[in-house]
Structure 1
Amino acid sequence: MATHLSKLTSLILGTSLMATVASAAIGGELQKVMKARGLTENDIIHAAKTYTPSGGRDEFIVFSSGGQSGQIIVYGVPSMKILKYIAVFTPEPWQGYGYDEDSKKILAQGKIRGKSITWGDTHHPALSETKGVYDGKWLIINDKANPRLAVIDLNDFETKQIVVNPVFKSEHGGSFFTPNSKHILEACQYAAPYDNNYHPIEEYKETYRGGVTVWSFDPKIGRIKPKDSFTIEMPPYMQDLSDAGKGASFGWGFTNSFNTEMYTGGIEVGMPPFEAGMSRNDTDFLHVYNWKKLYQLSKNKKNVKVVNGMKVIPMSVAVANNALFLIPEPKSPHGVDVSPDGEYITICGKLDTHASVFKWSKIKKLIDNHEYAGKDPYGIPILDMKKSLHGQVELGLGPLHNQYGKDWKNGEIYTSLYVDSQIVKWNYKTLKVLDKVNVHYNVGHLCSMEGKSADPQGEYVISLNKLAIDRFNPVGPLHPQNHQLIDIRGKKMDLLYDMPIPLGEPHQAVAIRASKLHPEVRYKMGTNPKTGKMHVGKTLAGQEKIVRKGNKVYIYGTLVRSHINPERVTVNKGDTVIFYLTNLERAEDETHGFTVDNYNVHGSLEPGETVELKFKADREGVFPYYCTEFCSALHLEMMGYLMVKDPNKKYVSAQKLKMKKMSKAELKAEYEKTVAVNNATDAVIQSVVKFLKENHYEKYPTVKALVEDALDQYGKIAEQKKKADEAVKKGDYEKAILFENMIWQYMVKTADVGIRAKDLLVKKVATKQSPAAAAGERAFGEGGCGGCHVIGKVSSGPDLTGVLLRHENAEKWVKDFIMNPASKYNDPYVKSMIDYFNLKMPNQHMSEEEVKNIIEYLKWVDENANLF
């Protein structure tokens, strides 16, 4: 076991040096953990492969549909840590989405025939491409329940646009970019009339239709252009998923279907159910269409009919222009995937055990030669299936979806098996199965790293399982979904990690290398993130004001640690209240929230952002408003009052509470005490500033940003000091104390950020820690030593800077004290410390290795004592 653990240690730590330092801990403590938790060595290897330490970064970012939540889930690989929920089709309170006016406008774009839709069923996310390769700029997601697409800007991970399909009543295969992101394919799902009129089901074949909408997209500004888009009319075959051709097949689109039987159900009148009637045929149809040619045809009014404002190209026009064809495919297919070079097209049928690989060059030859096997009832040419196929391979029960691997040129591909609950690795060129791995359970889609692009990255596959059953702690009848991470870097696939997804039913996911994403950490001051432009309500410091226009009251306010300006707003009952609020922070991650109690509004303001909140003051009373994001030590004080009075009501002032007033002498003493505290605080600030300057903080961008933020707060003190001094001249010590208190608040904010900057700078300029010293610092922190001892400061216990200089044979003395504190309680020096701090050093039960490392850490502290 020890030999195995030694090898395991080297694998986990990566270097022989680190392995030497940690060998004792790994050989001892790790064995204890493994035994206590019943872990195998393989479990530890899996943990090491997925572990991302604090401050570490993932290699890939995954965008997963949020299913019935209507949102998008963002998480990292290999850590499988959820990083964000992107609000898309439904309100999301934390981010204020649907609770401020600007996000309400985005949601309003998704109204259908004038009706607000407050839920969605997100299914297929798609990343924008340049020459078929993910470029990290835009993300599209569809809504199956309500045929809509949304555009998310990956510069700030915000939804910018929602577009409704005006002719489809539902869709499933929602968003598939063409290789240069100029167009997006969206396929209809359940066939229905294009218009909004009633049509009896008996007219299904005549008036119900399927189709594919080819949306025009501007990748420079990230917006869908409905007026430049069109829909290809298709038979009512229940179109499903799609993929855009690339490389050899560029300009063509591929959409599979089910219910070529055109069955219409009717169990209520004694007919067999849908699933029986829709699966009678041995094959369904793959739709093959030249969207590039059809796009040009759509520009001529003679080739289109307009329905609900959407240009529709009739089947007859598409057929007459040799732009629409059908190929028999395995029945009830659920996915069509074009290889990175565009030559091979893989399709799996849920009710078949085979994967079918079609070859574009064969299909194109049949098209060019007008070699058809027949026509469907609507006159669409049918190509011969056998002549279109490269071949078929038996994979297992319930094959669904495919993703390409890094070695795609040699045929590497992965397929999910729904019934068998497996992922299959196989070769789509040689048609041979290479490997299988069990998953838990009933996998739908799978996601490899950039596996739908022209440049698959390999490394991992994620199995998006519909069932979890026994995987996690029970949380009631509704279980989470289970995303399982699979390592595909070796010859055999290796299941690494189970990740519960507790938000809707994630349907499909896409992954992109993290290095391709470059989101902003702050906005230009006054930005409206929903438009990317300057907000009409942009307000800078000193511009705060309240403006009444009739029965509308506009509040132009600002938020900054730790106050909201203005702090008091009085309006009349019945007024419409509009808050324009700007977050003045420039420090990264200094978000402020804002709400008015009881009025169901909420805004989330990232640094530099401006939001608009609007509501009717329909209730009399006093309503606090406050910052909802814990932003600083004075967060609770960051508040104000909205006071709503009835203009038709006469108010009798309540009798003022009698208070004992301080004498002038007492006020003066209180003022002097306040000034003394401020002076002492300022002395601390100046010492920090001196340290920062002496150690050239400006060389380090992160430290520099913190210092600039601190100096911004400090720069506001002069104005408050001037007001305090003027009050003192007038003998108004009460007001002077208030202004001095405001000075103290600015000082606290300055000190808070300044000390953070100093601590960060210390790490930058201190001598590099040895591995042992680094391990000692971790042991110092994890062992609870920091609860009493703060390096460089006297806290609940003495400062340990220089402790190795206080005793003869100091290293042994310190070691003995840590290992057995009680043995030295009567030592005169220790006894004096116990009496002074009224605390005894507890036994933290450190190992000898940990104590040895802590001593190395204390040596490092002494080497850099001038920095603490």
Structure 2
Amino acid sequence: MERGFKLLSSLVLSSTLLTTASIAAGGDGALDKVMKARGLSEADVVRAAKTYNPTGVHDKYLAFSSGGQSGQVLVYGVPSMRLLKYIAVFTPEPWQGYGFDEESKKVLDQGKIRGKDITWGDTHHPALSETDAKADGKWLIINDKANPRIAVIDLSDFETKQIVVNPVFKSEHGGSFFTQDSEWIIEAAQYAAPFDNNYHPIEDYKESYRGGVTMWKFDPKHGRIQEKDSYTIELPPYMQDLSDAGKKVSHGWGFTNSFNSEMYTGGIEVGMPPNEAGMSRNDTDYLHVYNWKKLAELAKDPKNVKVINGHRVVPMDIAVKNDALFLIPEPKSPHGVDVDPTGEYIVVCGKLDTHASVYSFSKIQTLIKNKDYAGTDPYGIPILDMKKALHGQLELGLGPLHNQYSPIDGEIYTSLYVDSQVVKWNFKTLKVLDRVNVHYNIGHLAGMESNTADPQGEYIIALNKLSIDRFNNVGPLHPQNHQLIDISGNKMDLLVDMPIPLGEPHDVVTIRASKLHPKVRYEMGTNSRTEQISEGKTLAGQERIERKGNDVKVYATLVRSHINPERITVNKGDNVTIYMTNLERAEDETHGFTVDNYNVHASVEPGKVATVKFKADLEGVFPYYCTEFCSALHLEMMGYLMVKDPNKKYESAQKLKMATMSKEQLNAEYDKTVAVNKATDDVIQSVVKFLKENHFEKHEVVKNLVTDALDQYGKIPEQKKLSDAAIKEGDFEKAVLFENMIWQYMVKTADVGIRAKDLLVKFVATKQSPEAARGEVAFNEGGCSGCHVIGKVSSGPDLTGVLGRHENGAKWVADFIKNPKEKFEDPYVKAMIDYFNLRMPDQNMKDEEVKNIIEYLKWVDSNANLF
């Protein structure tokens, strides 16, 4: 019945599209002309329509593909097959600043092996977290085949949060697979090797080399692997391969296949047959069947484990003695092992055999219960009889590899590598139903949530290793080809090719987009890798540069369209740390940051804090700027890092200029400098007056700041004496230099004094209501303070008294905050835009936040005399 409805739906769609084509052909004939010009059939048009997303329309599914040797993950939509994102995982990725900012460096550092930096990875098998054996959209994990590691990706922001190195494996392929409630992750070794880190000759292969399966304990609430609670099951030195976790009736069990039951070790360089011959002599290899739930309990007792490299290993004899480890013969050189949605059937394909083998979990359990063994392997592991464990076998074709399930009972799809086909068959009735050719040499295939207890059907993606002639020639290194296949009808229909220009994309998992709920911004000041508030969180008005010896810390903010501060001066040899907080609240307003020539970069999404560190070992002047085109004034979003050598004496350009000036010009320069100093001193005196009138001495923290300010101010009289003496001698050039020094002290005084004033305001102003206090937080964390500074004109107008500038001012301001664009043509707003050369951005404030900001502005107005 379900298949009938899907077929009818497909026919209706095709009919509708062909009718549309007929109408177009009968009208201006535009579609007919396109079809003729490009040689398209009606079927081509239908296939194009099935994958086309009009602008703004989103995909139903998201696919997460391994990025192979890039060490990354690719994300694309289905059915559009549009590439959406790279997720940086095991290797640096410049656009996202991954491996360039300090937060992501700490994640990458988790992937060091024995203290060694690993700067590349080979991502292979992604897996989505599950609840009750169904994808829940919370976490994505992926393994590194080249360097046995597992990474955890948070799907709330698509960032890598943890990398864990396997302490006993030297390589792996059979990772990573969640158990049905994401409480454990299965990672199987590949090439057998000693668990310790010592040298062992190859002649000791059977005695000293080992395979294994690591069961990583996972916290699905916080999304972290718990290394101390994890353990490894010791296995013989067969080459373990892919795994799958039991589900539903088989929950608590794991299944890992293998090759090289011959335990052949090659030696082509000494005249032995190559590995590919010696590792394929036997007709069968082994499917490992293990009760990981029982083994997890056994591993809690120190008597049942060996500790190797600080990690718990359950020896084979312990697993065997406790009826927790078994072997079943399987067709030679198998690759995929896939548990069906009910957990009853386990399908294994041997790539050197034409058959798929379907094992029955209930039959396996009966054999175990009755201790009905066909024998043991050389390590004493019980071997179950293959025929007694099988539900059945079916010949599919050449090179069967991997399987995906359908929502239709018994329906399964298998990739045939040699035949370059996907075959649809029924694993219960053991009948082939359909085939479709793909291009070329398919490896994995991916259905929609098809490796869960809730497969969706609709599509299969063929992950082809070769593309040969499918795309434009771009040189000897070709893209690989992911092909989307419609499986909604009786016959499979190949819809579209998708070149993948990042190799080798090994496996894909998919999920309904409706299950994903990624955030569009971070809580203000967040370290995205730890999900905690960063020590470098900086709001507008808090920007500062702090020096302690040779360590310089810069607390900076980024908001359209400026970086604050815009000038940073350090000494050559200083260790510089720059914390950057993106004050934006608008969606998709990312800022980037780099310092030219210093090999640092960060991507700073709204609300995020990113940190860069470097040694200022290059003397000179280096622009820094926003690397993400963010506004019309993007190019103006910049500043200068100025690195001076403290051991050098620099000739002032201003001094050189004065040396060429006439007496009259020097006199004028002196008068101008004195006037600037007078204006600056007026500001200082107004601050001093405010501090005294409001009894700053009663507040210790303010008093300390005032002491610092007066320390700087106290150095001015001596410089003034020297200036006056120079004037008396008629040396205006020297006098100007002394006046410039006075200005330096005044600026330092004003900086500290204004901070003292702002702090004192908090103590002496009327108490804020809870709403006003929340409004101030929203004002600062919402990015308003990036342009508006209360009590002074900054990048935008001073908002003191803003509620009185318009009729029904509170409503006017609230409406403006919620929808700025509607007022851009208002004469008052237009004048402000023209004057400040900035437009008010929509910061996506919630109604409650806007209401609280209005209360905060009322509080500002009631204390206007303090600002």
Which bracket does the TM-score occupy, shorter chain normalised? Answer: 0.7 to 0.9
Partner of 1:366: 367
Q: Does 1:113 align with 2:186?
A: no
Question: Mind listing any 5+ residue stretches in structure 2 that lack a counterpart?
Answer: 1-8, 673-777, 799-828, 845-867
- Which string of whole-angstrom CA distances, capped at 9 and with x for unpartnered residues, describes residues 575-602 of structure 1? 0000000000000000000000000000
Task: Quote the sequence identity (%).
Answer: 73
Deviation for aligned residue 1:716: 5.2
Tell me which residue corresponds to 1:546: 545
- CA shift in 2, pair 1:131/1:28, >3 Å: same
Distance in 1 of aligned mates of 2:152 and 2:594: 27
1:427 corresponds to which letter in structure 2? Answer: N
Distance 1:25 1:589, change over 3 A: farther
Residues 59-87 of structure 1, C-alpha deviation per residue, up to 9 Å, x if partnerless? 00000000000000000000000000000
Give the CA deviation at 1:719: 2.6
Whether the 8 Å contact between 2:124 and 2:144 is mirrored in structure 1 is yes
**Cα distance 1:711–1:353, how it changes in 2: closer, same or farther (>3 A)?**
same
Report the counterpart of residue 308 of structure 1 in structure 2: 309
Q: Is the 8 A contact 1:709 1:753 kept in 2?
A: no
Other structure's SS at 2:792 match: helix
What is the rounded CA distance, in whole Å, between the counterparts of 1:373 and 1:124 in structure 2? 33
Q: What secondary structure, in the 3-state scheme, does the structure 1 residue paired with 2:175 have?
A: coil
**Does the Cα contact within 8 Å between 2:788 and 2:797 map onto a contact in 1?**
no
Please state whether the residue corresponding to 1:172 is helix, strand or coil: strand
Amino acid at match of 1:39: L
2:581 counterpart letter in structure 1:
T
Secondary structure of the structure 2 residue equivalent to 1:346: strand
Task: Indicate the residue corresponding to 2:532 in structure 1.
Answer: 533
Q: What residue ranges of structure 1 are gaps of 5+ in the alignment?
A: 1-6, 665-704, 726-739, 756-868
For residue 70 of structure 1, what is the aligned residue in structure 2?
A: 71
Q: Is the 8 A contact 1:375 1:381 kept in 2?
A: yes
Tell me which residue corresponds to 2:619: 620
Q: CA deviation at 1:406?
A: 1.4
2:793 paired residue among 712, 720, 725: 720
What secondary structure, in the 3-state scheme, does the structure 2 residue paired with 1:559 have? Answer: strand
CA distance 1:191–1:303, change in 2 (3 Å): same
Deviation by residue 1:91-110 (Cα, 9 ceiling, x = unmatched): 00000000001100000000
Alignment partners' CA distance in 1, 2:632 and 2:66: 37
Aligned to 2:726: none
Q: CA–CA distance in 2 between the matches of 1:711 and 1:548?
A: 28
Provide the rounded CA distance (Å) in 1 between the counterparts of 2:216 and 2:55. 42
Aligned to 1:440: 439
Q: Which residue of 1 aligns with 2:821?
A: none
Displacement of 1:711 in angstroms is: 7.3
* Amino acid paired to 2:312: K
Q: Distance in 1 between matches of 2:585 and 2:627?
A: 18
Cα distance, 1:571–1:270 mapped onto 2, change above 3 Å? same
The aligned counterpart of 1:380 is 381
Amino acid in structure 1 at the alignment position of 2:386: M
Instruction: Map 1:224-303 onto structure 2 (within 5 A).
Output: 224-303=225-304
Partner of 2:145: 144
CA distance in 2, matches of 1:352, 1:87: 37
The letter for the 1-side match of 2:472 is N
Shift of 1:24: 6.2
Match of 1:671 in 2: none
Cα deviation per residue 1:269-324 (whole Å; 9 max; x = unaligned)?
A: 00000000000000000000000000000000000000001100000000000000
Asked if 2 retains the 8 angstrom alpha-carbon contact of 1:10 and 1:19, the reply is no
CA distance in 1, matches of 2:400, 2:21: 48
Q: Distance in 2 between matches of 1:257 and 1:221?
A: 33
Give the aligned residue type for 1:749: L
Question: What per-residue deviation string (whole Å, max 9, x for no partner) do you get for residues 735-788 of structure 1?
Answer: xxxxx9997588543267699xxxxxxxxxxxxxxxxxxxxxxxxxxxxxxxxx
TM-score (norm 1): 0.76
| Partners of 1:403 and 1:364 in 2: CA distance | 24
In the aligned structure 1, how far is the partner of 2:262 from the partner of 2:22?
69
- Specify the code of the residue in structure 2 equivalent to 1:390: H
Aligned to 1:809: none
CA distance in 2, matches of 1:577, 1:54: 45
Amino acid at match of 2:321: A
| Structure 2 SS opposite 1:181 | coil
Cα gap change, 1:14 to 1:40, in 2 (>3 Å):
closer
Deviation of the 1:37 alpha carbon: 1.1
The separation in 2 between residues aligned to 1:8 and 1:472, in whole angstroms, is: 29
CA distance in 2, matches of 1:143, 1:178: 19
Asked whether the equivalents of residues 405 and 457 of structure 1 are also in contact (C-alpha less than 8 Å), the reply is: yes
1:395-415 superposed Cα distances (whole Å, 9 cap, x missing partner): 0000000000111xx200000
Match of 2:58?
Answer: 57
Structure 1 residues 554 and 22: CA distance shift in structure 2, 3 A:
farther
- The Cα offsets for residues 604-646 of structure 1, whole Å up to 9 and x where unpaired, read as 0000000110000001000000000000000000000000000
Aligned to 2:862: none
2:477 corresponding residue in structure 1? 478
Whether the aligned pair in 2 keeps the contact of 1:721 and 1:743 (CA below 8 Å) is no
Q: Indicate the residue corresponding to 1:173 in structure 2.
A: 174
CA deviations 1:166-193 (Å, max 9, x no partner) are 1000000111100000000000000000
Instruction: Note closer, same or farther for the CA distance 1:10–1:719 as it changes in structure 2 (3 Å cut).
Output: farther
Q: What SS does the corresponding residue of 1:719 show, helix, strand or coil?
A: coil
CA distance in 2, matches of 1:57, 1:723: 37
Match of 2:761 in 1: none
Change (3 A) 1:585 1:653: same
State the secondary structure of the residue aligned to 1:46: helix
Name the structure 2 match of 1:492.
Answer: 491
1:594 — aligned with what? 593
Alignment partners' CA distance in 2, 1:622 and 1:722? 25
Q: In the aligned structure 2, how far is the partner of 1:721 from the partner of 1:126?
A: 50
CA contact (8 A) 2:795 2:836 kept: no
For 2:540, what is the secondary structure of its paired residue? coil
In 1: Cα distance, 2:91 partner to 2:125 partner: 16
Partner secondary structure for residue 365 of structure 1: helix
Distance, in Å, in 1 between the alignment partners of 2:541 and 2:495 is 55
SS in 2 for 1:651: coil
- Measured in 2, the distance between the counterparts of 1:614 and 1:607 equals 21
For the pair 1:47 / 2:48, whether they are aligned, the reply is yes
The one-letter code of the counterpart of 2:271 is: G
Paired residues in the alignment total: 692
**From 731, 745, 749, the counterpart of 2:838:** 749
CA change 1:653–1:79 in 2 (3 A) is same
Q: Distance in 2 between matches of 1:508 and 1:220?
A: 26
CA separation in 1, counterparts of 2:446 and 2:77? 13
CA contact (8 A) 2:124 2:507 kept: yes
Q: Which residue is 2:648 aligned to?
A: 649
Which deviations, in whole Å up to 9, do the C-alpha atoms of 1:388-443 show, x marking residues without a partner? 00000000000000000111xx2000000000000000000000000000000000
Verify: 1:203 aligned to 2:292, yes or no: no
In 1, distance between residues paired with 2:284 and 2:175?
Answer: 23
Q: Which amino acid aligns with 1:629?
A: E
1:451-850 alignment to 2 at 5 Å? Answer: 451-654=450-653, 655-656=656-657, 715=788, 719-720=792-793, 747-750=836-839
- TM normalised by structure 2 equals 0.77
| Matched letter for residue 127 of structure 2 | A
Which amino acid in structure 2 is aligned with residue 108 of structure 1?
A: D
Q: 1:539 to 1:376 in 2, by over 3 A?
A: same
Question: Amino acid of the residue matched to residue 326 of structure 2?
Answer: F
Q: Determine if contact 2:289/2:325 at 8 Å carries over to the other structure.
A: yes
> Which position in structure 1 is the counterpart of 2:397?
396
- Measured after TM superposition, the shift of residue 15 of structure 1 is 9.7
Aligned equivalents of 2:336, 2:154: Cα separation in 1:
27
Instruction: Assess, with a 3 A threshold, how the Cα gap between structure 1 residues 229 and 754 changes in structure 2: closer, same or farther.
Output: closer
- CA distance in structure 2 between the aligned counterparts of 1:456 and 1:249, rounded to whole angstroms: 18
For the residue of structure 2 that corresponds to 1:213, the secondary structure is strand
Report the Cα distance in structure 2 between the residues aligned to 1:649 and 1:246, rounded to whole angstroms: 71
Question: Letter of the aligned partner of 2:314 in structure 1?
Answer: I
CA distance in 1, matches of 2:794, 2:22: 55
Contact 1:717-1:746 at 8 Å conserved across structures: no
| Residue pair 1:422, 1:438 contacting (<8 A) in 2 also | yes
- CA–CA separation in structure 1 for the residues paired with 2:518 and 2:130: 17
AA of the residue aligned to 1:720:
V
Instruction: State the Cα distance separating 1:710 from its structure 2 match.
Output: 10
